[in-house]
Structure 1
């Protein structure tokens, strides 16, 4: 090789070295950034197309082994086409940015090599009003080999130069420019078909925003020829609206030339910036906000900045004045990036205008524009600036705007702000968090429905809100417990406050307590009054006992009577610490050893009597003692059991009784005792006579004596007739007491005097014949009874079998006793 040849080669190396290096630098991260690039390539191509004209139409054609992108943008200049071959690193990036020409994205175009190592490019060049066709290949097969890339640039340059062909006019085919990718020829680990699928999916989700921000792009087609041919078409149109400040852009979607849907993007412009959000008209002038696509970029510079889906702003921001970072996956907002800062301030102002529209026109589903996160910037000055000028105004706007829809069944046409409502919350890290937050909402809806979003919306609000920002709106289990129990300390107040009857209120509390137990939040029971006691008060769990006040043989209701007696003598209501009977069904609420047993209540009552130091003649104490005497004698427990439980009372009943009497009353008792009539008077006191009847007897002793004297004389004057009548009358009343008046028939037949019927009132249970004597029962063994011949009529054997009874009535003085004799059925054999 001669020296001249070497000098030429050296010149070539110097000329092509920097472009090759630039290409290599942009090819290098293709694998590491493949997740972003598999969505970005489609926008790089559309960017190239729309930079080259107005009313641009573009087309993606997909086959089994290739993807072809075509457009009808204006012709390239020589420099623009050449820049695709050899990106010019010497250009002033700021200048090319302002021009918004393809040169700005020459390096971005390199990233489309994620589809294929080799790109075939065809197009039209306009130079001095003369048109030329061209085509060439960009071969980047060895992306890390600089020498290979230098040679590749040379080959493409030569092909470009050689294939330039002058034409007299533009061809009729509207798609004059095309980029063809052989998608089976990709870099290692990449799969061309999957990359195409991801890019087209991302395109279909975001094309409404791109058509909104890029009016030069009028129509885009996607033709899939891999199996059957399917053609998708997306067109841009503007929609008229009467709402000031609001611009609506419609993307009309066709499939195989059939109109399938319209997608609306609302747009508010603030100087050089605009915000965008998906909407749907539900009635004239009223819209509902729709959700953004998953992982939707929130920053657009005409096209999406892939990687900005987590930018801290509730809606999409677009500005062609944005200054993206080199990777075009975000913006810098340091104190030196005033252009970007001004764009964000304008976006914030536009968003606050949107909130006024939402409130004024009552737009629905507003949770879709309420996603906000706490600022997260490493640079403290940047974080402070963003927090004060962007974040806080937006938070305050979301907080105060009346955009929360309430349940219409409760309140018609009323909306509240976030500051006025609660949003049910539970830890999102839990596997079943959706079920838990739904349970919280359902419990809350039964108690505070006017402070909650409508049922169809609460889960969406829960998913959207950052509860580290909106802390006061968080209705977690503890906050709900606090809200339910505040100002409500009894069952009556609970029912009144929450418009429930007692049954519904108790069922609600039981279900809610079970839910708390299931979440293992038992500590709430000792912080908030939720537990119902037997006094129908709501209490803390601590100190509550299971009611085991029961004893074998104790009559029904006598446990409650003893509680009343204990309360009356001790002024301590044991029901205050006893779990409500209905709450005993809640498993795991109270430990088994936390119990209050009958033995303790009995002994506590007995101990209170032992230690009583009050006035024994006090009416209240007399009533207590009377009730206890009555309980003691009628409760159904054995004397042994009662003596063991009520040791003091059992051994001091008489003394307790005497302690209740005045001196005068004690003299009365003494008079009774020495009269020898105490037993008789006790019978009289325990009889069914009423108190006024006893007073009549006491006030008329002469009258009673005369009656008794007449009774005795009557017996003596008519010893058989009168005595028999008196005996039968006494027996009749006694039988009525035993069997009931409707079952006793006083028939006074010769064979018998009374017939007692079975329960069916048709068949006979007993035949009873009364025999009365004026002698006492003590001498009954020697007292015969006589039967006249007229009485010698007897029942036949079948009638009398085991049913015939003789009632022997002993009347001596004022005392009457009865003994019954059933005839031995053996005598009837």
Structure 2
């Protein structure tokens, strides 16, 4: 052997030894990190097949048998170098300039030894020889491994034979790995990984035509189908997957590609509908074959570029700058990022179901093979921001919008995310911004996947719809009414708010109740939970009253329609609190009364009474009868037993009927307004108020008083030391009192200015007070301050009537109560005087030291001369009756019962004179009417002649009554003339019937005579015409007719007309009140003329 051969042998020996050491070291690493590399074996075999593929492509078989796994392909034969690399593994070969060869049995192929360190290799060389040998990589150290490799080479060379290749299945190369039980899982995992990624494998490798996988329980053939364009840059590859006896199943890969880079995603199709297939844990980066360490890479799609330079272990890329700057892998990855965004947009535009998932990024880890700062910026600029701005989100309204313009519900829990979506969807126009409900959680995941790459938190993204953001919006709406406006037409705002509250509670975000105004108060405003209290059952009307007083009572009360259980823990607000505040507010408002005060005060009062809260009435301001439209007369209720005399009077509707008639005798400013009785008419409730001591239901009451003056019915002792000493009761005594009767400007003072009130007071006392309080005018002995005992009346109201000048005389003058002053008071009020002087009234007059006889005399005789004449006449009557008192009473009684008796006595003497007088007066009236009317075309004629007349008053001719008729052919009037010296004019039944029958044209003419000697000259001055006398008589005539039919009691007086029935004679007495204000002759002529000309009504 030459020296050169020796040198070459030495070099070869060293190379083999070094290779053995490298292989041993690499195998050791593989087995130490088996989990990391265990699925790579199948890809390394496929890489071998691809590298050996002919122009038409290569088919691959992978067969798992019980005791071995066999890999076959029909690629081109082995070159001698390839065999050498296979056995000795000199180095890992890459040809960057030629993508046809990915590797040549370098360290990648060693990964297949995770299955077995011995492999039976079968194939042929490019010289046409066949071989079949055992490739042995066993050895505990490098030397043993070197010996095994040398033995493998020897076996290879020994197996080389000439002749045709034995390929029953059409394959040219076979690798058979023996299996042991503990390695079966590695094999099955690799086969499963192959099938899962088969679609991508075929899409990225044009030279691999098909895969055939056989396992003990299945057989699968996967092959390429048709590739169709989707768009100018995008295509869809069909991959058929079939099993014996079953129809083939199509799988599809959509991809965008240029000369170097492909970005793909597996899709599924049913008819014309496409969807994103379930991705699973697939590698995200391919260099024709998957880099198995990229399963958790950020992209949601698969990126392939055969010019990517993997790391030595062929599981990841190098994405870190080198000395020269940016690595080429980084440049290629930037282009791939653009494609990934374009594929997501394409999926959205095509309407693929699940397209939203292509916008999601996976977490960015701190990989040692990635420059994370560069990659984060890349994803933001080339993926996230383009997608945020692209119309890739399908809304619930059916339109595509950019995510940045949308509202994406953000929740970790899909159920809560849908709940938030449901709430927001009911907001007006929200469907145009919300993603489809079934994609809501997907888009939420997308946002959360983007956030780690962005400077702001996911919750701060404009498109993020968080529960907090929704709550802030609701809080800004401010009121339930506004919430209703912001929601859809059919959405109940209360139900919607309850749903919101439920979601807040369910997701444990109850702090939002304190941060935002989300809870409706009963006033309709939205409040924070810290601003609300629970309604403990406050009456609704009380709330209304409080709010009318300016108290925002409902504003801090939880709306009772709220259902969240947390609200039950709110501090309660009691009715007592509201009541106290309202009462104080009413008192404050009473200091500056406005137009609404009265209505509020009455309503509040009624509420307190109806709800048995009368204890709250102490100090309560009330309206009195002194209230006017311009001014509120106020008083204050109290119940101080020491001030019982100052107790207010209830509304007059609560008083006894007789007391109501004289209500003006009592101070309006101390009497509750009638508004209270109108609002509260229940007598029992008013009795309850009175029993509590707030008001009096009757101006007449019993009380205890001190210092009651003694009214002297006998001389009282006067001290020489002090003649001004008043005799008053020393101790408290029970008295009968009238409310505020003694007060200045009230009670008795109110009488001093009005005769009508004075009469009403006396009749009220006589007919009511003394009837109800029958012992009021009884006298009682009591100790006097002077040290002695005297008698006093029980009626305290009598004292001021006894010692004050209270009887009005007219012209602002008053007098004390005397027979003269009382008689003057009752002038023209004979009937009222009779009521006063009868029954209990007599006792009242006696107590006032007024003689009934004196009063009666002064009532009928107005001056002293008349009274003397009357006394003289009475004396004559007494003498005529022989001083027989009973006879005098009989005469008086008859005269009283039959006032016409005296007229009958005078009738025979005066009849002729009266007829003559009346004839002259009637003729004078006739003359005056003719004189005034005939010049105007009206005739005045005598008519209505009859025998039923009143001799004393009627106009008679030949013992027949005459009625004058005034007419002009179109209109007529009947004029009946009567002359009278008294205050009444009498009409017969016939006259009354005539007046009523012709009531619209019947005129009664009364000539008032001062004496029987009145001359004709005064007729024109004194005559008065009553044009509506028929209307006045009509109701009395009806009573008369009813009386005739039934003989029941009849109403004998209506207004100024009185029915007088004496024996069989019936007369209608017309009082002077009917005719003293009648028309004068001049006025009646004018009235008749106008009536006949049609300008006015005759009435």
1:525 partnered with 2:528: no
Aligned length, in residue pairs: 646
Aligned to 2:580: 603
In 2, the alpha carbon distance for the partners of 1:590 and 1:482 equals 24
Q: What residue is the counterpart of 2:226 in the other structure?
A: 238
Aligned partner of 1:435 among 415, 419, 444: 415
Q: Which residue does 1:178 correspond to in 2?
A: 174
Residues 355/300 of structure 1: CA separation in 2 closer, same or farther (3 Å cut): same
- For residue 136 of structure 1, give the secondary structure of its aligned residue in structure 2: strand
1:302-359 deviation line (CA, Å, top 9, x unaligned): 1001011222333211111111110111111233354212321321333344355345
1:182–1:670 CA distance, 2 compared to 1 (3 A): closer
Say if 1:321 and 1:339, in contact at 8 Å, map to a contact too: no
Query: Residues 62-96 of structure 1, C-alpha deviation per residue, up to 9 Å, x if partnerless?
Result: 1222111111111010110121110113x7x5558
In structure 2, the residue matched to 1:289 is 276
- In structure 2, do the counterparts of structure 1 residues 303 and 467 end up closer, same or farther at CA, with 3 Å as the change threshold? closer
Per-residue CA deviations over 1:568-615 (Å, capped at 9, x if unaligned) read 22x1211000001112x42122535x1110111111122223444633
Counterpart position of 2:470: 480
DSSP-derived class of the 2:503 partner: helix
- Kept in 2: contact 1:307–1:330 (CA 8 A): yes
Q: Which residue of 1 aligns with 2:618?
A: 650
Residue 542 of structure 1 aligns to a residue whose secondary structure is helix
Q: Is the 8 A contact 2:651 2:672 kept in 1?
A: no
- 2:19 is paired with a residue whose SS is helix
**CA distance 1:622–1:52, shift in 2 (3 Å):** same
Deviations 1:414-457 (A, max 9, x none): 11221122332234xxxxx3333333333333333332221222
Show the 5 A alignment for 1:754-769.
Answer: none
Change (3 A) 1:665 1:679: farther
Q: Out of 124, 147, 150, which is 2:146 matched to?
A: 150
Could you tell me how far apart the structure 2 residues matched to 1:25 and 1:384 are?
35
Check if 1:575 corresponds to 2:554: yes
The corresponding residue for 1:449 is 431
Tell me whether 320-329 or 522-531 shows the greater mean CA deviation.
522-531
Matched residues in 2 for 1:689 and 1:215: separation?
99
2:572 paired with 1:587: no
The alpha-carbon distance between structure 1 residues 574 and 102, as it changes in their structure 2 partners (threshold 3 A), is: closer
C-alpha distance after superposition, 1:115-173 (max 9, x if no partner): 1232111111113xxx111122233344x522221111111111111111122578564
Which whole-Å CA distance do the structure 2 matches of 1:501 and 1:679 have between them?
61
Contact 1:405 1:454 in 2 (8 A): yes
2:440 corresponds to which residue? 458
CA deviation after TM superposition for structure 1 residue 235, in Å: 0.6
Cα pair distance change 1:194/1:261, threshold 3 Å? same
CA shift for structure 1 position 659: 8.8
Q: Is the 8 A contact 1:65 1:183 kept in 2?
A: yes
Kept in 1: contact 2:94–2:101 (CA 8 A): no
Larger CA Rg, structure 1 vs 2 = 2
Match of 1:206 in 2: 197
What does 1:639-718 correspond to in 2, within 5 Å? 641-643=613-615, 646=616, 649-652=617-620, 657=624, 677=659
In the aligned structure 2, how far is the partner of 1:671 from the partner of 1:69? 115
- Secondary structure of the structure 2 residue equivalent to 1:402: coil
d(CA) in 2 for partners of 1:58, 1:452: 49
Find the partner of 1:615 among 592, 602, 615. Answer: 592
Pair 1:85–1:623, CA change in 2 (3 A): same
Preserved contact between residue 549 and residue 601 of structure 1 (Cα < 8 Å)? no
Question: 1:279–1:287: 8 Å Cα contact kept in structure 2?
Answer: yes
Equivalent residue, structure 1, for 2:745: none
Summarize the Cα distance change of 1:99–1:595 in structure 2 as closer, same or farther, 3 Å threshold.
Answer: closer
Q: Counterpart of 1:83?
A: 85
Asked if structure 2 preserves the Cα contact closer than 8 Å seen for 1:526 and 1:542, the reply is yes
Cα distance in structure 1, aligned partners of 2:359 and 2:72: 39
Q: CA deviation at 1:624?
A: 1.8
CA drift of 1:492 comes to 2.1
**1:632 counterpart residue number:** 608
Change (3 A) 1:659 1:88: farther
| CA deviation after TM superposition for structure 1 residue 109, in Å | 0.7
CA distance in 1, matches of 2:296, 2:597: 78
Distance 1:205 1:605 in 2: 78
Q: Counterparts in 2 of 1:354-393, with a 5 A limit?
A: 354-355=343-344, 357-358=346-347, 360-373=349-362, 382-393=371-382
Deviations 1:355-394 (A, max 9, x none): 5534554444212311225755679994444344454121
CA distance in 2, matches of 1:37, 1:659: 106
**What is the TM-score when the length of structure 1 is the normalising length?**
0.70
Does 1:167 find its partner at 2:163?
Answer: yes
**Closer/same/farther in 2, CA of residues 313 and 247 from structure 1, 3 Å limit:** same
Higher RCO (C-alpha under 8 Å, 6+ residues apart): 1
1:416 maps onto 2:395 in alignment? no
* Structure 1 residues 378 and 116, CA gap change in structure 2 (3 angstroms): closer
Q: State whether structure 2 residue 216 is matched by structure 1 residue 218.
A: no
Aligned 8 A contact 1:488 1:494 in 2: yes
Mapped partners of 2:546, 2:678: distance in 1:
29
1:689-710 per-residue CA deviation (whole Å, 9 max, x = no partner) reads: 999xxxxxxxxx99xx9xx9xx
Q: Distance in 2 between matches of 1:669 and 1:208?
A: 103
Of 509, 525, 531, which aligns to 2:497?
Answer: 509
Give the conservation status (yes or no) of the 8 Å contact 1:26–1:111: no
1:517 shift after superposition: 2.1
- The residue that corresponds to 2:395 in the other structure is 406
TM-score scaled by length of structure 2: 0.54
Instruction: Answer yes or no: is the 8 Å Cα contact 2:202–2:209 preserved in 1.
Output: yes
Q: Distance in 2 between matches of 1:663 and 1:332?
A: 96
SS of the equivalent of 1:175 reads coil
The correspondence of residues 245-256 of structure 1 with structure 2, limited to 5 A, is 245-256=233-244
* CA pair 660-25 structure 1, distance change in 2 beyond 3 A: farther
131, 135, 138: which is aligned to 2:135? 138
Evaluate the alpha carbon distance shift between residue 688 and residue 83 of structure 1 in structure 2; reply closer, same or farther with a 3 A threshold: closer
- Mapping for residues 480-499 of structure 1, pairs under 5 Å: 480-483=470-473, 485=474, 487-499=476-488
CA contact (8 A) 1:252 1:259 kept: no
Taking the aligned partners of 1:309 and 1:278, their CA distance within structure 2 comes to 15
Deviation at 1:221, TM superposition (A): 0.4
Judge conservation of contact 1:60–1:223 (CA < 8 Å) in 2: yes
The more displaced of 34-43 and 445-454 is 445-454
Equivalent-residue separation in structure 2 for 1:690 and 1:280 (angstroms): 81
Distance (Å, rounded) in 2 between the aligned partners of 1:666 and 1:510 = 47
Aligned counterpart in structure 2 of residue 317 of structure 1, from 303, 325, 332: 303
Conservation of the 8 A alpha-carbon contact between 2:95 and 2:102: no
- 1:73 is aligned to 75
- 458-467 or 15-24, which moves further after superposition? 458-467
CA, structure 1 residues 353+507, in 2 after alignment: closer, same or farther (shift >3 Å)? closer
Against the structure 1 CA distance between its residues 602 and 402, is the aligned structure 2 distance closer, same or farther, given a 3 Å change threshold?
Answer: same
Q: 1:499 and 1:349, CA in 2 relative to 1: closer, same or farther beyond 3 A?
A: closer
- 1:516-542 Cα offsets, whole Å, 9 max, x none, are 123332221122221011112222211
CA change 1:689–1:389 in 2 (3 A) is closer
Matches for 1:8-157 after TM superposition, within 5 Å: 14-54=14-54, 55-89=57-91, 93=93, 95=95, 98=98, 101=101, 104-127=104-127, 131-142=128-139, 144-157=140-153
- Secondary structure of the residue that 1:588 maps to in structure 2? helix
Q: Which runs of 5+ in 1 are unaligned?
A: 1-5, 186-190, 428-432, 551-558, 692-700, 713-774, 777-829
